[in-house]
Amino acid sequence: MTIQPLIDHFETYLPVNESDKVFLESRVIQRSVKRRQFILQEGFPCKHYTFIISGCFKMFGVDTKGAEHNIQFAIENDWIADIGSFHSGKPSKLFIEAIEPAVILQIEQQDLYFLYNNIPKLNQIFKVIVENKYVELQNRVLQNISSTALERYLAFQEQYPTLALRLPNTQIASYLGITPEFLSKIRKDIATESVNLKLS
């Protein structure tokens, strides 16, 4: 198991010493995940905070008609979890699925609390991580209320600059709340405008 990507991630916030690394290695689990494999399903509690070493995941809900609605994407050096279910132990209403083959590190609730007690700076780091996710969610809600589909797509490109090339239109469209056909039209319009600007 290699936890160096996780150490590097934490050190973007605060330094991690050798004793911290020993504690982390004893409480973190590495997994390989196949494409389309779930690490969380509706009706089950979210048991892990998941850090992504490689690959891409989506978190989504399913409405009464069976349609999927993507809430979040997560790629390398990012976290994904149903935080409410993780802390409460209640069944989740969400799914987390691998869009690509992935390698992940997972921390169970009791192990995370152990790490908080033994590495106090980790509590500070996770506080910032959760606050950043909350800001992302706030911005997304505001975009859904007041932004056009084009503006939401441009914001998506800014937040996930590499994902437009890694995800099919259906996944991005689900995240933006539009049809894949309308997303194709937006992309075509952007490309046409870019060509016109170059020619002018």
Q: Position 154: which residue type?
A: L
Structure tokens at 19: 């004793």
pLDDT in tens, 39-57: 999 999 999 999 999 999 9
What is the four-CA torsion angle of 81, 86, 88, 92, rounded to 10 degrees? 60
End-to-end CA distance of the chain: 55
Q: Are 81 and 39 in contact (CB under 8 A)?
A: no
What is the domain partition of the chain in residue ranges?
4-146, 149-200
E strands in 41-194: 48-54, 57-62, 68-74, 79-80, 95-98, 102-108
4-146 belongs to which CATH class? mainly beta
Tell me the residue length of the chain.
200
pTM (predicted TM-score):
0.90
- Would you give the DSSP letter of residue 39? E
For the chain, which ranges sit under pLDDT 70? 195-200
Q: Residue 192: its pLDDT value, please?
A: 85
Residue 93 has what pLDDT? 97
What is the model's pLDDT at position 159? 84
